[in-house]
A and B are shown apart, each in its own frame.
Chain A
Amino acid sequence: MILQQIFDGLTLGIVYALIAVGYSLVFGVLRLVNFAHGATYAFGAHIAMVVIVSANFGLFWGFIASVIVTGLMTMLMDRIALRPLRIKKSKGISALITTIGCSYIIQNTLMIVFGSRSKWFPKIFDYGNFNVGGILVKSTQVGIIAVSVALLLALTYVVHKTKIGLAMRAVQQNSKAASLMGIDVNKVVSFTFFLGGASAAVAGTLISGYYQIVNPQMGFVAGLKAFSAAVLGGIGILHGAVFGGLVVGLAESLAAYYIGGGYRDAVAFIILIAVLIFRPNGLFGKKVIEKV
């Protein structure tokens, strides 16, 4: 039974990792907590729902459309709301409040367009269940893990092996120096937002297919959990976000089993506050020394 909980927890965890990576990417480049990331995730799920359920185009095109539309939406958000703040050299907290505002705009627009009630979403990768060593493995879970791992590997490849990834890492280290070396910082930031939005869209579609439910508020708690995961691993660090996601998923699943379902959402917040208090830079983060 415990093995079952661990497996279910890891399935959730890998999806949280996917969302957490989005936080980490944006934080790495901009030192900004993108509060609208949870709403982006819900947005992606709704786009997928429109394409798969309403337009009946099937899962593959649902993923593609959701990734592209959500990615473009986040790029647009950066272009309209955040870039002017960078030009003005506003305080970091202004950008955070802007993303809070954006998250509210996205979430409530979804609510007005689609209604606030939960809507049905088809089960994805549904080819029946297997029994592996006493654990009930659903084909949906296998599909979710496969897609998430593939996407995480692809993201790692992009960040570490490609030219744009090199530019991202350069901006992360020192954006001024990067721009002096001929890197178009705004383009890099846009691309980063696209990656973040795309991974959130895939995660939203996967989770919707797992629970078979979509609603506009789904992003709030999921976003917070993924943020906890990103902070736990050390925000801005990709493998940290993946590790954090797995830990949060596992902790949630075990807490629901041992303490009670009512507290399953609380676990992530308790992890978040504990990490912020005892190790604000996360497990893999380096200590930041404040220079005067």
Chain B
Amino acid sequence: MKIQNPLNLLNTKPKKVTALVIAVALLLILPKTGLLSPYLVRILTMISLYSMLALSLNLLTGFTGLVSIGHAGFCAVGGYTSALMWQYTGLPWVVTAIAGMIVAGIVGLMLGAPTSRLSGSYLTIATLGFGEIVKMIALNWQSFTGGPLGVNHIERPVFFGITLTTFNSGFFYLSVVLTALVTLVVYRIVHSKMGRAFMSIRDDSLAATLMGVDVTAYKLKSFIISAAIAGLGGAFYVHFVRFLDPNTFNFDISIIIISIVILGGTGSIPGSFLGAVLLISFPEILRFASEYRFIIYGLILVLMMRFKPEGILGGHSNRKLRLMKGVDTYGY
């Protein structure tokens, strides 16, 4: 019997896995070099978090073609699940975060199922309505969610007796590991039968149906996975800032996430990272511009749609198609 390389089990190109592992390792060593102030570590953590959220939305918007502008609603569901579960039962973060993912995934199914018939603009507006409804439930169900006061002093995650903080860079490590896992998951999905089904729905859902793709089922899968990842992001964020109220995940957050996806590139995994790096770091670098940051996000949406709707790294590759050895095009 042939012994399989464990990397082959993941069926990802070994080169790419190695690159990912090296990138993660480098990022993990970074805080230990002492070059980074806690402020920088915090920004890097936010970039990592937003990369994760952008990947989640990219799966839905970039690969499946369902534009959501209520994605913060899923973060809110994950965040509230995790925070309230901690508040009522005191379970460790790993458990509450997984619960947050599961609940967010269920909510994704609940939103996706009735709206699967909708297309284009209608779906987008429905997701917006969803985000607002989540906010209103959080605000008005005071006995359970704490209403406008929210949940305070949320416990930091503890791993092996070590409490994660910004100062020991624990949150940074955690966010990098989570983002790497999410990247691997999204990469594997995109390069599988499911991913090809997603893209066929995006490109032409009618043609996909005719080719035997169960459009509704795949749309729902996309919704569930995307929502679960967003829920994980929310569950991370609330334990990071240790505070959660109905306004934590508002419409602005949804706009930031969609701007990242659109700027970086719809349907591009590296694009989500590029978008997050650019859009999260610019208000910090250009301090004078931070007041105008939302105008700039708006401008990015308008200008990208006008000049490069597929984003910086999105769209079709310009690389020439390489044929297998021994296959010749004979001049074609």
Contact = CB atoms under 8 A, between A and B. Distances in A.
B301 A98 contact: yes
B115 interface: yes
Given A96-B124, A273-B130, A84 B301 contact: no
B251 interface: yes
A259 B153 CA distance: 32
A109 B306 contact: no
26 contacts: A32-B121, A33-B121, A81-B306, A94-B309, A96-B67, A96-B120, A97-B305, A100-B298, A101-B297, A102-B298, A104-B297, A105-B298, A105-B302, A108-B292, A112-B292, A224-B128, A228-B129, A231-B125, A262-B136, A262-B139, A266-B133, A269-B136, A273-B114, A276-B122, A276-B125, A280-B117
Contacts of A100: 69, 255, 258, 298, 301
B139 to A, nearest CB: 7
B217 interface: no
Contacts of B114: 273, 277
B120 A92 contact: yes
Nearest to B147: A262
Q: How many A residues touch the partner, as a band? A: 35 or more
Given A93-B67, A272-B129, A98 B120 contact: no
B302 A98 contact: yes
Nearest to A261: B140
B191 to A, nearest CB: 25
B90 to A, nearest CB: 29
Interface in B107-141: 114-115, 117-118, 120-122, 124-126, 128-130, 132-133, 136, 139-140
B294 interface: yes
B83 interface: no
Contacts of B251: 220
Interface string A219-231: 0100010011001
B25 interface: no
Interface of B is mostly: helix
B132 A224 contact: yes
A224 B117 CA distance: 21
A292 interface: yes
A231 B300 CA distance: 29
Contacts of B139: 262
Interface string A245-285: 00000000000000010110110011011001100100000
Interface in A85-125: 85, 90-98, 100-105, 107-109, 112
A280 B309 CA distance: 28
A33 B124 CA distance: 10
A101 B302 contact: yes
B299 A265 contact: no
Contacts of A269: 129, 132-133, 136
B121 A92 contact: yes
A97 B306 contact: no
Nearest to B302: A101
Contacts of A272: 125-126, 129
Given A269-B133, A273-B133, A105 B299 contact: yes
Nearest to B123: A276
- Most B CB within 10 A of own CB, among A81, A84, A266, A290: A266
Contacts of A101: 297-302, 305
A169 B22 CA distance: 61
B140 A90 contact: no
Contacts of A227: 125
Given A92-B121, A96-B120, A105-B302, 18 more contacts: A33-B124, A93-B67, A96-B121, A98-B302, A101-B301, A102-B302, A103-B298, A104-B297, A105-B298, A109-B295, A224-B129, A262-B136, A263-B136, A272-B126, A273-B129, A273-B133, A276-B126, A277-B114
A263 B59 CA distance: 33
B167 to A, nearest CB: 33
Closest A-B pairs by Cβ, 10 of them: A101-B301, A104-B298, A105-B298, A101-B302, A262-B140, A101-B298, A108-B294, A269-B129, A277-B114, A33-B121
Contacts of B133: 266, 269-270, 273
A81 B302 contact: yes
Interface string B215-226: 000000000000
Given A92-B120, A108-B295, A262-B139, A97 B132 contact: no
